[in-house]
Amino acid sequence: MQMTAIKKKIAILGASGYTGAELVRLLSTHPGFEITALTGERKAGQSMASVFPFLRHLPLPDLCRIDEVDFSQIDLAFCALPHATSQAVIRELPSDLRIVDLSADFRLRDPAAYQKWYGQPHGAPEIQREAVYGLTEFYRDEIRAARLVAGTGCNAATGQYILRPLVEAGVIDLDEIILDLKCGVSGAGRALKENLLHAELSEGAQPYAVGGTHRHLGEFDQELSLLAGRAVEIQFTPHLLPMNRGILASAWLKGDAQRIHAVLVERYATERFIEVLPFGAVPSTHDVRGSNFVHIGVVGDRRPGRAMVAAVLDNLCKGSSGQALQNANLMMGFDEAEGLLLAPLFP
Amino acid sequence: MQMTAIKKKIAILGASGYTGAELVRLLSTHPGFEITALTGERKAGQSMASVFPFLRHLPLPDLCRIDEVDFSQIDLAFCALPHATSQAVIRELPSDLRIVDLSADFRLRDPAAYQKWYGQPHGAPEIQREAVYGLTEFYRDEIRAARLVAGTGCNAATGQYILRPLVEAGVIDLDEIILDLKCGVSGAGRALKENLLHAELSEGAQPYAVGGTHRHLGEFDQELSLLAGRAVEIQFTPHLLPMNRGILASAWLKGDAQRIHAVLVERYATERFIEVLPFGAVPSTHDVRGSNFVHIGVVGDRRPGRAMVAAVLDNLCKGSSGQALQNANLMMGFDEAEGLLLAPLFP
Amino acid sequence: MQMTAIKKKIAILGASGYTGAELVRLLSTHPGFEITALTGERKAGQSMASVFPFLRHLPLPDLCRIDEVDFSQIDLAFCALPHATSQAVIRELPSDLRIVDLSADFRLRDPAAYQKWYGQPHGAPEIQREAVYGLTEFYRDEIRAARLVAGTGCNAATGQYILRPLVEAGVIDLDEIILDLKCGVSGAGRALKENLLHAELSEGAQPYAVGGTHRHLGEFDQELSLLAGRAVEIQFTPHLLPMNRGILASAWLKGDAQRIHAVLVERYATERFIEVLPFGAVPSTHDVRGSNFVHIGVVGDRRPGRAMVAAVLDNLCKGSSGQALQNANLMMGFDEAEGLLLAPLFP
Amino acid sequence: MQMTAIKKKIAILGASGYTGAELVRLLSTHPGFEITALTGERKAGQSMASVFPFLRHLPLPDLCRIDEVDFSQIDLAFCALPHATSQAVIRELPSDLRIVDLSADFRLRDPAAYQKWYGQPHGAPEIQREAVYGLTEFYRDEIRAARLVAGTGCNAATGQYILRPLVEAGVIDLDEIILDLKCGVSGAGRALKENLLHAELSEGAQPYAVGGTHRHLGEFDQELSLLAGRAVEIQFTPHLLPMNRGILASAWLKGDAQRIHAVLVERYATERFIEVLPFGAVPSTHDVRGSNFVHIGVVGDRRPGRAMVAAVLDNLCKGSSGQALQNANLMMGFDEAEGLLLAPLFP
């Protein structure tokens, strides 16, 4: 195939975590990208097959340190490093290297907001300014032209797929937005914590990051306030569920349910990855696992003027690495859906 | 032990379902009750060990048909039959037999409400009138004296543990109560449905009974309106989680979080099964599995005047069979907690 | 792409079960096949999206009855019907229609063996004779030329990937083959049985089909005896695990472990879907989920002359629908791996 | 109750791990024991409720350091410390303190065997000599009189419940014993390892400690050789399953299946915790979860002279803390089953 001749060269920084591995999975059937470098500071020198045996069928470069990568040969770097590390690394990369960052470091445009939610001053404020917020369906043109795209929070993405069209259309009460999220555990990454052990996580559920403290609130504030032209503060709490992939967002809203449904149907009519279900039907995370799809359902209530809108996506794919690849496709001039039309895995 | 001489004789009608089996589990270490009859129409003649091998160490009567039971020898019957069947059976039982019913048939006092939520006229309205609502901590005296106690819905119980004291104390906005429930699958019973198969339920989550249609709303309406002295209609949707036991209720409320916490702490100070966590701490269903305990946590929000209260319990135990035993203890003059102080199973 | 012009037209008979849905998933990114008909007798008239919402993004024909399909327009039919139904249906299909059958109906060549293991005479013995056993890596040429390919049992496939090369090479004791299988639940299909409910299957394990009674023994007997030129009877018991996809076969063998490893390495050196791990390493079903790959590991024991060989595959994919597609690729002249190189889903 | 006056005072050393917590769970309804001290070096000063919220309803002493315990007030200590730590601690405890040790430190009587399997010389060989092996049903008299009881490995216990009576009765081929174990994850303790995370463990299975290297082989060698009066070396590999509690041991044996069954039935006829199922029936870990029971099933094979025996138990309870309590009951003169007759938790 001719395409081979023009394959774009990719580096994945931080390839030993779940989002890095998910990028490799997605790129493995993409005709236009070629993985040229994979980094992992603590696991440098190891093969990907030893770190992620599920990738052993692929011919991949071994993990190396970031300072071993020749970035002059790289067309685009995915940066799947931990928060705070990301800004320190990106600051030192060539200033013309195109980057899709999957960390939280460049999501907030306002340095004060960053400091408020992340508890420290930003380490690369000049780069922060140029970053484009990576919610593809709403920033397509900016992303296409961007040097640095900041991947969104997975919870923030799920909530915004519900809320952005409704805020824009003015069909919900902006002061009464409640977002009750149910999240799979892979969103917490490969962190070694007692509450993430199978023995302590399976067969039970609990809230976390309660009381209006979850950092993704910074993204909601920034994006919804911008859309509304006024301050919008939602009430949002995630709950940790005994499953690996998937976010189920239940938005409790004041507004006319049928009108809400109509706004969402119209807004997403031409989006390939976003499916609005018939009115009254509800989505399941089972139906999007491993895929880049979003399913949204709208239901009314016995009390008029109230609605619940539920949205589901796979946090590692559409909520993170799938979104990143969708953005990279735009940046490199490929079809936005290239490599991303894999069907979900069920059961 | 002297107690043996005065053991109360128990029948469990509908012992081949999960709540029936859970009753046997709880009764197996209770010093004051003796299981005399176990019924199961379709499995009559079989041993309990063949229907529930986990009970095989217990000396139990075989399953029989209800019409084979000599109720003159029974001190108290637990009725763990399906909805609608229960009223048809109870109508034919001796009118002085003391009964704890675990079905939905006698929860609603108003025949019109029953018809509205269950779609048919009640088949035993005269018995419906005498039934006492079985939420132990709030109907203790009535239960002690009752002939027939109607066990509550498991979702309705979880929600009321949060809401009743707050409605009574007048510390929350009665028109703005949102209850987002997360439920384990055993609440659906042993029903053979595709969406309850392991292959379709594990590793995912989804809402169900949406749009203000869940039947437990009938209980909320009845009880909260009675307490408030005015109509109270909450917004409530359950979500099905990939776990077997446990309900996590997240109540989104308008009111002062600290005051809400204080009301709950005071109300439950002397209750042995209900633990209110320190302000800001949140409960997990992991911590009550297999037990009769309820854990409640209260958190505030960045926006003053808003709170989230989370409560957890085991739907099969405190939400159903444990509640039933607690009520039976009261009815038979035992210590209310007899047989119910088993610690949860973790991990 | 030119290929579109020559797309082969596919029918899937029995598309409302798991293997049918898995075929749709795999075909959805295959460039050479086009799904023309999907049948489901009981769900005829329904859309696939209503039966399997995870497929709702695909433009698919609605389910219809088999007698509504115009087979003159079909290049190849996948038959994913229940055992016994399959032979009755296939007997009535056009005798020149190329078919990949996923049922057990045509796996055994000997009518007496069929009757022994399936408890009834075969209903289409003349077709039984022409069927080719579908274990791709060992019957490639026959499959390429076949009219009817009989997909193997998923357990039988897993075991044979271990045993065939070893029997052929004469490096193990043929009278001392023990196969302890651990199986995910999707192999049981969408059957509504109590022990397949999430509440009864999750969080526990048990043997089933014990005592040398599992029907896949018929396949082992047929294939291994043919290879060995003498009767070979293995001892085999499957165990049901709380997971959806995956088979882990542990073969307990007498023979030199290093030699066993060398035989497997050499045999599979050029196979794209079969990975033999370094000596001493063991595979995990996690690493093949959702894919067409097989991982095999060989370990020795402290007692010389003994070995354990473990193999893993995804029962729905490589063990059933993936195998079927691999065979269909051969039959239609496509690259054998077309549409099958999707990376596993992890985590 | 009079019993209160004579309650025995208990210390649990290492109460912040799963076996320590399981001991607290079991002791919480035991009428004859009183928990006087709980230790946890790294968590000293914390309440048990903060370390294990599921125990928050119990009045328990806070965690302290071992050197803060006044052992002159303690009747019996459970030692639930890590391997190697245990011997170092026990060496320093009062030499007349009665101890049930749950670690691996005192299971092997022969210092050379200890060094072989644990890779270092034993640190307290004089104490090693006096330790009694804690498999209750086979060492009852010795345990009753012992100062120090060494709890068995959970895998070693499961296997021995199958093998000891058969070795003793001479009904199986001692050179052909294969033990294929399937284990829940809580046996690995609260260790923070990637492969124990929910994301990496759920939904899959794999062998571990392969090749005749698992340390419990030391116990099998010691105990079975002693019984047989000759060296017996079994072949044994465990497999890690996606479940929290439970071990399923599948023993592949040469011998007459009916005779094997008869031997087991007779041997365990009077044992309260061990249930031998009818011939041909197989056990499930679901049916013993959270309990002290063992279920054993025997099946034959199509080839005469071969059998599979499957046994299940809960590794944290009967395999560890339940066994420890059973032994402590004997040592303190209580009914052996006191506090241990709780029914399993199902579903």
- List pLDDT tens digits, range B53-81: 999 999 999 999 999 999 999 999 999 99
Residues B158 and B303 placed together within one structural domain of the fold: yes
Residue among A18, A21, A287 minimizing CB distance to C53: A287
Q: Which residue has the tokens 């965690």?
A: D63
Domain presence at residue C337? no
- Active site residue ranges of D: 154
Residues B172 and B140 placed together within one structural domain of the fold: no
User: Which tokens is A14 given?
Assistant: 């931080």
Q: With beta carbons less than 8 A apart as the criterion, state whether C25 and C55 touch.
A: yes
Domain presence at residue D342? no
B242 contacts in chain C (CB < 8 Å): 198, 202
User: Which tokens is D209 given?
Assistant: 């400690």
Q: Do A57 and C343 touch (CB under 8 A)?
A: yes
Chain-centroid distance of CA D95 in Å reads 24
Amino acid letter, residue C69: V
B235 contacts in chain A (CB < 8 Å): 252, 301, 303, 306, 308
Q: How many helices (H) and strands (E) does chain D have?
A: 11, 14
- Active site residue ranges of B: 154
Q: Do B248 and A308 touch (CB under 8 A)?
A: no
| Residue A25 host element (H or E) | helix A18-27
CB pairs under 8 A between B and C: 50
Neighbours of D144 (CB within 10 A): 16
Give the integer Cα–Cα distance in Å for A150 and A78. 10
If one counts the domains in chain D, the total is 2
Q: What is the DSSP secondary structure assignment for residue B174, as one 8-state letter?
A: T
D243 contacts in chain C (CB < 8 Å): 202-205, 242
The chain A residue lying nearest D54, using CA atoms, is: A200
Of B168, B312, B336, B310, which is closest to residue B251 (Cα–Cα)?
Answer: B310
CA torsion A11-A16-A22-A24 (nearest 10°) is 40
User: Which tokens is A299 given?
Assistant: 């239901």
Amino acid letter, residue C263: V
CA distance B271 to chain A (A): 23
Q: Which residues of C touch B (CB under 8 A)?
A: 18, 185-186, 190, 192-194, 196-199, 201-203, 242, 244
The chain A residue lying nearest B233, using CA atoms, is: A303
CA distances from D312 to C207, D219, D295 (A): 11, 19, 5
Amino acid letter, residue B11: A
Domain presence at residue D102? yes
Alpha-helical segments (H) within chain B: 18-27, 48-51, 85-92, 111-118, 125-130, 140-145, 154-169, 198-201, 216-228, 257-267, 322-332
Q: What angle do CA B266, B269, B272 make, to 5 degrees?
A: 150
Give the integer Cα–Cα distance in Å for C125 and C108. 11
pLDDT of residue C278: 98
Residue pLDDT, tens place only, D38-91: 999 999 999 999 999 999 999 999 999 999 999 999 999 999 999 999 999 999
What average pLDDT does the segment A135-148 reach?
Answer: 98
Residues C78 and C194 placed together within one structural domain of the fold: no
Give the integer Cα–Cα distance in Å for D32 and C313. 52
CB pairs under 8 A between B and D: 91
Confidence of residue A6 (pLDDT cuts 50, 70, 90): confident
Q: With beta carbons less than 8 A apart as the criterion, state whether C289 and C316 touch.
A: no
B343 contacts in chain D (CB < 8 Å): 24-25, 28-29, 54-55, 57-58
Q: Do C196 and B197 touch (CB under 8 A)?
A: yes
Between residues C305 and D188, the one the model is more confident about:
C305
Q: What is the DSSP secondary structure assignment for residue C62, as one 8-state letter?
A: P
Q: Do B54 and D343 touch (CB under 8 A)?
A: yes
Q: With beta carbons less than 8 A apart as the criterion, state whether D263 and D276 touch.
A: no
Residues C133 and C20 placed together within one structural domain of the fold: yes
Q: Check pLDDT > 70 for residue D3.
A: no
User: Which tokens is B42 given?
Assistant: 């379709």
Q: With beta carbons less than 8 A apart as the criterion, state whether B81 and B100 touch.
A: no
User: Which tokens is B80 given?
Assistant: 């763990």
The chain D residue lying nearest B20, using CA atoms, is: D346
Neighbours of C194 (CB within 10 A): 12
Residues C305 and C162 placed together within one structural domain of the fold: yes
The chain B residue lying nearest D273, using CA atoms, is: B57
pTM value is 0.97
Give the integer Cα–Cα distance in Å for C293 and D214. 29
Residues A196 and A296 placed together within one structural domain of the fold: yes
* Average pLDDT of chain B, as a whole number: 96
C203 contacts in chain B (CB < 8 Å): 244
Exposure on the CB side of residue D7, measured as CA atoms within 13 A: 16
Q: What is the DSSP secondary structure assignment for residue C212, as one 8-state letter?
A: T
Beta bridge partners of C275: C295
Confidence of residue A5 (pLDDT cuts 50, 70, 90): low
Asked if the peptide bond before residue B61 counts as cis, ω within 30 degrees of 0, the response is: no
Q: With beta carbons less than 8 A apart as the criterion, state whether C327 and C143 touch.
A: yes
* Average pLDDT of chain D, as a whole number: 96
Dmax of chain D from CA atoms? 62
Give the integer Cα–Cα distance in Å for D278 and D124. 45
Query: Quick one: three-class SS letters along chain D?
Result: CHHHHHCEEEEEECCCCHHHHHHHHHHCCCCCEEEEEEECCCCCCCCHHHHCHHHCCCCCCCEECHHHCCHHHCCEEEECCCCCHHHHHHHHCCCCCEEEECCCCCCCCCHHHHHHHHCCCCCCHHHHHHCEECCHHHCHHHHHHCCEEECCCHHHHHHHHHHHHHHHHCCCCCCCCEEEEEECHHHHCCCCCHHHEHHHHCCCCEECCCCCCCCHHHHHHHHHHHHHCCCCCCEEEEEECCCCCCEEEEEEEECCHHHHHHHHHHHCCCCCCEEECCCCCCCCHHHCCCCCCEEEEEECCCCCCEEEEEEEECCCHHHHHHHHHHHHHHHHCCCCCCCCCCCCCCC
CA distances from B174 to A65, A177, B49, B305, C114 (A): 59, 18, 49, 14, 69
A275 contacts in chain C (CB < 8 Å): 56-57
Residues C266 and C311 placed together within one structural domain of the fold: yes
Q: Which residues of B touch C (CB under 8 A)?
A: 18, 185-186, 190, 192-194, 196-199, 201-203, 242, 244
Residues A225 and A267 placed together within one structural domain of the fold: yes
Q: With beta carbons less than 8 A apart as the criterion, state whether D151 and D317 touch.
A: no
CA distance D186 to chain A (A): 6
Q: With beta carbons less than 8 A apart as the criterion, state whether D26 and D317 touch.
A: yes
| Percent of chain B at pLDDT exceeding 70 | 99
- Active site residue ranges of A: 154
Domain presence at residue C1? no
Mutation pick from A158, A174, A206, A316 vs chain B, by most beta carbons of B within 10 Å, is A206
Exposure on the CB side of residue D240, measured as CA atoms within 13 A: 25
Residues A133 and A187 placed together within one structural domain of the fold: no
The chain D residue lying nearest C198, using CA atoms, is: D347
Q: Which domain holds residue B64?
A: 8-152+319-332
Exposure on the CB side of residue D111, measured as CA atoms within 13 A: 10
What CATH number does the domain containing D237 carry? Answer: 3.30.360.10
Residues A164 and A308 placed together within one structural domain of the fold: yes
Q: Check pLDDT > 90 for residue A198.
A: yes
What average pLDDT does the segment A65-73 reach?
Answer: 97
Chains touching A (at least 3 CB pairs under 8 A) are B, C, D
Domain presence at residue C339? no
What CATH number does the domain containing D83 carry? Answer: 3.40.50.720
Of A173, A296, A280, which is closest to residue B213 (Cα–Cα)?
Answer: A280
CA distance A290 to chain C (A): 7
Complete edge-to-edge strand list for the sheet that includes strand C33-39: C63-64, C33-39, C8-13, C76-79, C98-101, C148-150, C132-133
Residues D125 and D170 placed together within one structural domain of the fold: no
User: Which tokens is C155 given?
Assistant: 């357990």
Please name the residues in contact with D95: beta carbons below 8 A apart, sequence gap of 6 or more.
Answer: none
What average pLDDT does the segment A129-134 reach?
Answer: 96
Which ipTM value was assigned to this complex?
0.96
Give the integer Cα–Cα distance in Å for D19 and D86. 14
Residues D213 and D100 placed together within one structural domain of the fold: no
CA distance A163 to chain B (A): 18
Give the integer Cα–Cα distance in Å for C52 and D345. 34
Q: Check pLDDT > 50 for residue B3.
A: no
Domain presence at residue B172? yes
Domain presence at residue B339? no
CB pairs under 8 A between A and C: 91
pLDDT of residue B291: 98
What average pLDDT does the segment B279-285 reach?
Answer: 98
Q: Do C197 and B190 touch (CB under 8 A)?
A: yes
Sequential pLDDT tens for chain C (347 residues) = 444 558 999 999 999 999 999 999 999 999 999 999 999 999 999 999 999 999 999 999 999 999 999 999 999 999 999 999 999 999 999 999 999 999 999 999 999 999 999 999 999 999 999 999 999 999 999 999 999 999 999 999 999 999 999 999 999 999 999 999 999 999 998 989 999 999 999 999 999 999 999 999 999 999 999 999 999 999 999 999 999 999 999 999 999 999 999 999 999 999 999 999 999 999 999 999 999 999 999 999 999 999 999 999 999 999 999 999 999 999 999 999 999 999 999 99
Give the integer Cα–Cα distance in Å for C86 and C206. 30
Domain presence at residue D247? yes
